[in-house]
Chain A
Amino acid sequence: MTASKDGQGLLKGSAKWWMLWVLLTVGGGVYLGTELFISEQKALFLPGQTTHGHHQIEMQCTVCHADGFNSEVVLQDACMNCHGDELDDAQDSHPRSKFTNPRNAELLNHLDARQCVACHVEHRPELITTMGVSQPINVCVHCHTDIGEDRPSHQGMEFNTCQSAGCHNFHDNRALYEDFLLAHADEPKTLSEPVRPLRNFSARYFDKSGLAERLTAEQILSRAPVIKQPIPENWAHSSHAAAAIECKDCHGNEASWKEKPEHTVCESCHENEVSTFLQGKHGMRLAQGLSPMTPAQSELNIHVEKSHQELTCNTCHTSHDFDTRKAAVDKCIGCHNDEHSNEYLRSPHYTLWRKELKGEAAPGTGVSCATCHMPATRKGSGSKGRIFVDHNQNANLRPNEKMIRSVCMNCHGLGFSIDALADPVLVEHNFPGDPSVHIESIDMAVERDEKRGKRESIYD
């Protein structure tokens, strides 16, 4: 009996342990399952912090990894899904297709340039450079080892300086290729007519909508909704009012009324602006169906009081006045609290902006934050071309030479632009004067051209 009692006791004790094991397993499984499939936060499954460009969406594993983790094709497709168009626009100097020919098989042993992740490794924060991604420093040597023979000016240069000295980029060389340097070799510091492109959305809208002209103040007043101020007042001063865009056009009718219209509503008219907003860091979370970004999620210095403000279209384009002048400066420096942003208010660019706002200078001559970081961009040529504000502020940010053609050269010569962007102190202090560095690429191009005989330029 004693033995039997002991046996039952043991069984009872064992059952407790089994029960505990089952509870722990089920509990752990539920916790992990919730974390993996339901929760927006999946930090447990993150093998390492992601790069600056991806950290906002790093918990959306499937964006990059789709349904599995075993295929280079899936990863490569994911890269191209988001960045393919950008590479096309940049006239990518080294597209994947340059490396797929079997003649490059030996080269691929050194660097498999068919895969973006060969250079841009994820989940390895210790490898991230100032460019915001991991980047091999001497990648050029594998193919261009004999460059010194063809270009004596390059003899003795280290291969880790190709991309760091303001001369070349791996992907985007639109402002740096030799013929472009030659075509713009003699340009002055500031062009004779420094002016940024002006948006043509409004003009195109009036043409398309059949509205003869902007509504007059009286017409607007007669259409203003009888609701609490300042909404009617703000609306009355907006471009929406002038274009007869009324409450129902954004908020819907009584049955489908939306108190706070989402970006999809804006997109119905401002397609290019919204699509580029969703590509940039401000809108990339919305693009993935996540909650809007808040400045707290930024890795930059941000004014603390704005940390938890959600970023949607209306954050910068405040309803109902939608004043783009505020959106172009006030809203930027309202959040961004770094040296470059703060120094802007003391910069020559800001002086020009103030003059334009006061009507003392011609439209397009002022330089706001958006002028450089969300530049007015042409899509399509001729009269059908659209000039819209590219809201992907990262499209021309790094490497900063990407900014030369889309921004700097609207007002400045190529040589000055290259030098200015290559001077980190000047950039940090928001261009208060002349660059203290000189990049010799134009000099080298001119010297080589003179030695080997000038030839016709496309700009002649």
Chain B
Amino acid sequence: MKKAAMIGVVVASSMLLSACGDEQAATTGISPQKYTDSLFAVMKADRTNYTKLIIKRLGPQGADAIKPHEYWEDLDNGAPLPAQMFRFGAEAVADMTTDFAYSLQSIWPINPQNAPKTPLEKEGLQFIVDNPGKNFYGEEDLGGVTYYTAVYPDVAVATPCIACHNAHKDSPRTDFEMGDVMGGVVIRVPL
């Protein structure tokens, strides 16, 4: 009898708690903007750390043990460029989940496939160039799904970034300077 009462209390408490949890989640759930802002913070931190802790420390400006290069796979000591590392992250995420997707794009892409494609991408990429320091947020329908789409500026923070883009024969723009917005990170969340 005692045991049955105890189970009843536990079950009732669980139901109550679970109901409270649902209510709480509904009222305090994270907003799409906060979600994409948070994702971008992680992406930016990882990219900065890779640039500083790996490329700068072990590359030609440091121990000269590795060679960061676009065709890194053809070199025994080749290492992906920070932008490539970023893209590999995006591709690995795409293999794991469809809850969000991201890409690195630019109005001046070295690879034309990385130019803005959808109307909102075009608007967002132009916005962050015209409004330095600001992010762009919007919604768009793609393939029958509505997405919350955020575009974050990708700013030139290291000289190798601008040196490579300015010298690259496939680069449509060759006058980047430090601090320029070179492109943008586009994050999408299905609503």
User: Which residues in A have some Cβ–Cβ distance to B below 8 Å?
Assistant: 91, 95-98, 100-106, 108-109, 143, 146, 150, 177, 179-180, 381, 448-449, 452-453, 455, 458
User: B186 contacts the other chain (Cβ, under 8 Å)?
Assistant: yes
Name B164's closest neighbour in chain A (CB-CB).
A455
* Cβ contact within 8 Å between B188 and A102: yes
* Cβ contact within 8 Å between B112 and A103: no
Q: What's the Cα separation between A103 and B71 when bound, in Å?
A: 26
* Cβ contact within 8 Å between A455 and B117: no
Q: What's the Cα separation between A146 and B103 when bound, in Å?
A: 22
Interface residues of A: mostly helix, strand, loop or mixed?
Answer: helix
* Cβ contact within 8 Å between A97 and B94: yes
State the Cβ distance, A77 to closest chain B Cβ, in Å. 12
State the Cβ distance, B80 to closest chain A Cβ, in Å. 12
A100-B112 in contact given A95-B91, A453-B169 (Cβ < 8 Å): no
Interchain Cβ contacts under 8 Å between A and B, 13 examples: A96-B95, A97-B95, A98-B91, A100-B95, A103-B117, A103-B186, A105-B142, A108-B143, A150-B112, A177-B71, A381-B76, A455-B168, A458-B78
A458-B69 in contact given A101-B103, A105-B143 (Cβ < 8 Å): yes
User: Which residues in B have some Cβ–Cβ distance to A below 8 Å?
Assistant: 67, 69-71, 73-76, 78, 90-92, 94-95, 98, 101, 103, 112-113, 117-118, 121, 142-145, 147, 167-169, 186, 188, 190
Name A147's closest neighbour in chain B (CB-CB).
B112
Q: What's the Cα separation between A449 and B145 when bound, in Å?
A: 43
- Residues of the B chain whose Cβ atoms lie less than 8 Å from the Cβ of A106: 142-143
Between B75, B98, B118, B169, the greatest number of chain A beta carbons within 10 A of the residue's beta carbon is seen for B169
Between A96, A97, A448, the greatest number of chain B beta carbons within 10 A of the residue's beta carbon is seen for A97
- Residues of the A chain whose Cβ atoms lie less than 8 Å from the Cβ of B76: 381
Since A98-B91, A448-B169 are in contact, a sample of 4 more A-B pairs with Cβ atoms closer than 8 Å, ordered by chain A residue number, is A97-B90, A102-B147, A102-B190, A452-B169
Between A103, A177, A179, A455, the greatest number of chain B beta carbons within 10 A of the residue's beta carbon is seen for A103
Q: What's the Cα separation between A458 and B75 when bound, in Å?
A: 8
Q: What's the Cα separation between A449 and B170 when bound, in Å?
A: 10
* Cβ contact within 8 Å between A102 and B142: yes
Q: What's the Cα separation between A95 and B167 when bound, in Å?
A: 28
- Residues of the B chain whose Cβ atoms lie less than 8 Å from the Cβ of A143: 113
- Shortest Cβ-Cβ A-B pairs, 3 listed: A105-B143, A97-B91, A452-B169
